[in-house]
Amino acid sequence: MAKTVCKLLGVVFVLVGICGFLMPHLLGAHLTPPHNLVHLVSGAIALYFGFAGSGSAARGFCIIFGLVYLLLGVVGWFMGAGPDHMFNVGSLLMLGKMDHIIHILLGIIFLIGGALSFDGTDDSVAIPDASSVDLTTGMTVEAWVQTTLLTNWRTS
């Protein structure tokens, strides 16, 4: 999953980096030239890990970048000034409310991509027992079944 997240977000970062030069207020963000360069470099690194890096390297990248973006978004939100939560990183990056929201979302996506690793053969997710998830009134179960793998399957 980490390699897929790296590929998808790598493309997004490169596109936002390019578009940011043409539309500096895309989605309400504050895309200055240095901010766009950060997106281009981040996108290139993500694409490298998505296409050429190992699965464990991609997971490490996702976790590190996830923590950095999440921290940047949360710190910017709480330390930013004014109604737009303006937060300056040095004198080159000016981040506002939408930047913080986007960075928090990116951080979460990167962290999920780094934390979950499914190869499609023997994967499972274990959820410990907790009374808060006990069923009290019933449940519905849905499944997709690939019938071509089964013999003597009846469809009617």
Tens digit of pLDDT at every position of the chain (156 positions): 889 999 999 999 999 999 999 999 888 888 889 989 999 999 999 999 999 999 889 999 999 999 999 998 998 889 888 888 888 888 778 888 888 899 999 999 999 988 876 666 666 667 678 887 777 888 888 877 766 666 776 666
Question: 6 is in which domain, residue-wise?
Answer: 2-115
How wide is the angle at C-alpha 93 spanned by C-alphas 91 and 36, nearest 5°?
A: 135
Task: Look at residue 134 and tell me if it is in a domain.
Answer: no
Report how far residue 101's alpha carbon sits from residue 95's, in angstroms, rounded to the nearest whole number.
Answer: 10
Answer yes or no: is 145 within a domain: no
Domain presence at residue 51: yes
Residue 11 DSSP symbol: H
Task: Let me know if residue 61 belongs to a domain.
Answer: yes
- Note whether residue 141 is domain-resident: no
In a domain, 144, yes or no: no
Whether the model clears a pTM of 0.75, i.e. scores above it, the answer is no
Coil, helix or strand at residue 28:
helix
Q: Which residues contact 64 (CB under 8 A, 6 or more apart)?
A: none
**Does residue 53 sit within a domain?**
yes
How many domains does the chain contain in total?
1
Q: Measuring CA to CA, how many Å separate 120 from each of 10, 34, 60, 73, 123? A: 23, 40, 20, 33, 6
**Residue 6 domain-assigned (yes or no):** yes
